[in-house]
Amino acid sequence: METKELSELLLAAIYYETENIGHTYIFFSLQEVATTLGAGEMTNIVEAAQLLESRGFALLSQGSPSDIGIMITNDGCLFAEQGGETGIISEYGEYREKIGAAQSTRDQAGDHVPPTPCGEPLCEAVSHVVPGVTYHSIIMEIMHILINDSSLDMETRDYLLKDVDALHIQLSKEMRNMKLIETLLNNLGNQPPISHLIAQLTSFTLRS
């Protein structure tokens, strides 16, 4: 597969994972994405990721040579939504739709498969019992404080509320992405007005 086509396949994968999570400011493990796609040599996938970054479609972060994160940008989302240039983004989207339809058919036939988040290899999914109103009430209080905090500019408030929304979605699932939850809690915990609530939520999450 040519680097350009591989880069668009990579972009499609992180685009759909981002859509599934409902939050755009997320770095995915490039190595885990490559494994999910069956992309072969990491050298090829790294070159594809670098091509995306050079075109402004993704951001890369690197803690070590084997620990590279990739996050889609707004331009990358737009490019993916427009179908890209090689046709592979549309093919990948159709593939995911077929997988979803097949899953639905199996469930309707009674061949039930336990629900897992889309692209589970990208997640450290941990089974848990979904809590009741407790975490929900904390989330609502956090949102109320952020919405009414006059010290926040509009962009910062919007970013934080997206974090809260993504956190709420994850806590509502039967299978949680604990890595994502930890990242969101850390980000939100840096805000003094809600830090005590984030501490409560962190404690609650670890217990459930």
pLDDT in tens, 40-99: 667 788 999 999 999 999 888 876 666 788 888 888 999 999 999 999 988 888 877 765
Q: Could you give the domains of the chain?
A: 3-105 (1.10.10.10), 124-207 (no CATH)
N residues, the chain: 208
Beta bridge mates, 38? none
Beta bridge mates, 72? 58
Q: Which two tokens stand for residue 53?
A: 């970054």
User: 56 and 75 in contact (C-beta within 8 Å)?
Assistant: yes
User: 159 and 25 in contact (C-beta within 8 Å)?
Assistant: yes
The H-assigned helical ranges of 38-176 are: 42-54, 74-81, 88-108, 133-147, 154-171
- The answer to whether the predicted template modeling score (pTM) of the entire model surpasses 0.75 is no
pLDDT in tens, 126-177: 333 334 436 777 888 888 888 888 898 888 888 888 888 888 777 777 777 7
Of the two residues 47 and 104, the one the predictor is more confident about is 47
**Cα dist from 95 to 21, 30, 112, whole Å:** 19, 21, 21
